Structure 1
């Protein structure tokens, strides 16, 4: 898992873990020992184990511990969720003789993370050396990591669809809890505060909006290293009293109900699962043009360049003018993200791979 810090990939893996048939498939978790949000109690209750290992920044100790664990535990499958860094655990798994080695692409890259991008570009050519199987959260993420003509399987970031369906009662209760009056327009964002998610841009968008719609409030859900800078940026623009910093929340499905619009101005995304969750809740979405169009399950999301805060403001104003909140109807695009169905499929894949390759 690399570093478990409360991000989206951890949520995806835990969601599958909660729904998979654990009488047939069981997970153990390898996490960097500087992880800050490891749900150890829940993992243990579900029958799994947590192994804390040196982070990849200490490559010799990291690899030595990986090889030791792979040899001692005899796991038939190693499933790596750390994108280009998967080359390290999967090379160790190959050395230890692990028969099934899965590389899973959850992301891509974009501007704003120079050092991280250099590492990704250096490691990406090695991404096909050690896996026996290739998974990706989207076609876009798979082609980015493994190559345009590579053979990979899309494993959707599936969710409990019912949990996110729009409920007007929950909307009222949540807005009341947040202190949002009926006439206010609430823009929401969910994501870890880091360069990829580009939250400071949304502060600029809000600054464009307020002269035209002064009853607008922006709510940030999540935490991370960039949060103080974003807060300072809001104060410098004099609009800090129009922004809610809600931190890590366990009721994100309720918060989607309260939003009047959802914005995701990411510099890059493997998919953008939060946008899909928002659409299931009937929330109109304004997304960066760096978000894969696979994330538009409603067919109504707007994709706008992140160099144009005025264009974002115009689209948000158009949304608030419609005054319409609808839950999208079930369709094939949406059904693809049903955790009940997808957990059965991935369980069957694990079983098949174990039978075919673990001899």
Structure 2
């Protein structure tokens, strides 16, 4: 019997949470298990075609105007109950309770997976709602997963997450071979953007939103450029802050040295072309780009908000406080760059630390197939 897992909570556009699930799906035995996705936040899902090719289905519950339809979600959960063994919630917070109430109404076994920590921008009322909802959700859940300890503490409560056997950290594993450093990829991407072999390339990867703190990255780079004129900054991602970031680049007079790529599917190749990843996030549940960069041998300068679980190779990752000024960040960024000839594969270390997608997929497939016996 093929196991079908109904997935709720993924955004319509690419992000770390979405790529975690896609990486998992790509590496399971697709003849034995399928992940069917209810996108959250829009009518479309960026990887719908790939999901369909792998045997999964997409169930939209948002209209073209991006409005959420409780009625449509209720219909999907009711109609699909007989085909699905379990519902897998992938969420960043518990501001809405109704999807969980509906899943409970139709007697879905629930697995809940936390992918972020607290958003400081949310108000007191929203965070109080989250804390009240967690009391119900964690008790309704068969398993409480998280991408890091901090993410687990945020969603389920610190004491609860560390004391209950049903709670555990699930690593955001990646295809390690796909992210190995490749000289040909470095040359190809640099040619695409018209970058010389000698140019210092600083990189930022992530949605263009406040959380990722790209404004700080641009300010850091403006100081770097004064010390290293033959440099550029590549920002990979899309989001509501793009025009703000473009305007800031122009105000600082560095727009000719800042490249906005939009959303890309070849981030692994772009990492090969870069010399340093800037990751000054305001908060992070995990930060999967940090693992991808380490697999590529790419040095990282990150904020102290990046959790310990994302730092496998101490030689490649330096974390700094966001209280440090831009000048200090720029100095550290330049010092953190390593000679190109030292870039090498770190697959064995990352696999040993639990970031091998093949191993994760095998274990998660066995876990979800266990629900076949419970119907």
TM-score by length of 1: 0.91
State the partner residue of 1:143. Answer: 153
Tell me, yes or no, if structure 1 residue 343 matches structure 2 residue 361.
yes
What is the DSSP-based 3-state SS (H/G/I as helix, E as strand, rest coil) of the residue aligned with 1:84?
A: coil
Instruction: Give 1:247-326 correspondences, 5 Å limit.
Output: 247-300=262-315, 301-307=317-323, 308-320=325-337, 325-326=342-343
- Structure 1 residue 69: deviation in Å? 2.3
Q: Is the 8 A contact 2:234 2:261 kept in 1?
A: yes
Q: Over aligned residues, Cα RMSD in angstroms? A: 2.1
What is the DSSP-based 3-state SS (H/G/I as helix, E as strand, rest coil) of the residue aligned with 1:16?
A: helix
State the partner residue of 2:111. Answer: 102
Q: Is the 8 A contact 1:188 1:262 kept in 2?
A: yes
1:261–1:2 Cα change, 3 Å:
closer
Return the alpha-carbon distance in structure 2 between the equivalents of residues 52 and 36 of structure 1.
7
- Structure 1 residue 35: deviation in Å? 4.0
- Structure 1 residue 352: deviation in Å? 2.0
The count of corresponding residues between Structure 1 and Structure 2 is 351
1:262–1:33 Cα change, 3 Å:
closer
1:45–1:278 Cα change, 3 Å:
same
State the partner residue of 2:201. Answer: 186
Q: Deviations over 1:175-234 (max 9, x none)?
A: 122211122110011101011111010111012212211112110001111111011011
- Following TM superposition, the consecutive aligned residue runs of length 4 or more in structure 1 with deviations greater than 4 angstroms are 321-324
- Structure 1 residue 333: deviation in Å? 4.3
State the partner residue of 2:22. Answer: 14
- Structure 1 residue 24: deviation in Å? 2.2
1:226–1:121 Cα change, 3 Å:
farther
- Structure 1 residue 120: deviation in Å? 4.1
- Structure 1 residue 52: deviation in Å? 0.6
1:343–1:65 Cα change, 3 Å:
same
Instruction: Give 1:63-74 correspondences, 5 Å limit.
Output: 64-74=71-81
Instruction: Give 1:1-359 correspondences, 5 Å limit.
Output: 1-32=9-40, 34-54=42-62, 61-62=69-70, 64-74=71-81, 75-85=84-94, 87-98=97-108, 100-111=109-120, 113-115=121-123, 118-127=125-134, 128-149=138-159, 150=161, 151=164, 152-300=167-315, 301-307=317-323, 308-320=325-337, 325-335=342-352, 336-355=354-373, 358-359=374-375
Q: Deviations over 1:248-301 (max 9, x none)?
A: 111111000010001111111111100110111010000011110211111121
Q: Is the 8 A contact 2:16 2:287 kept in 1?
A: no
What is the DSSP-based 3-state SS (H/G/I as helix, E as strand, rest coil) of the residue aligned with 1:165?
A: coil
Q: Which moved more, 1:149-158 or 1:32-41?
A: 32-41
Q: Which moved more, 1:225-234 or 1:151-160?
A: 151-160
- Structure 2 unmatched runs, 5+: 1-8
1:26–1:109 Cα change, 3 Å:
same
Q: Is the 8 A contact 2:43 2:61 kept in 1?
A: no
Q: Is the 8 A contact 2:181 2:345 kept in 1?
A: no
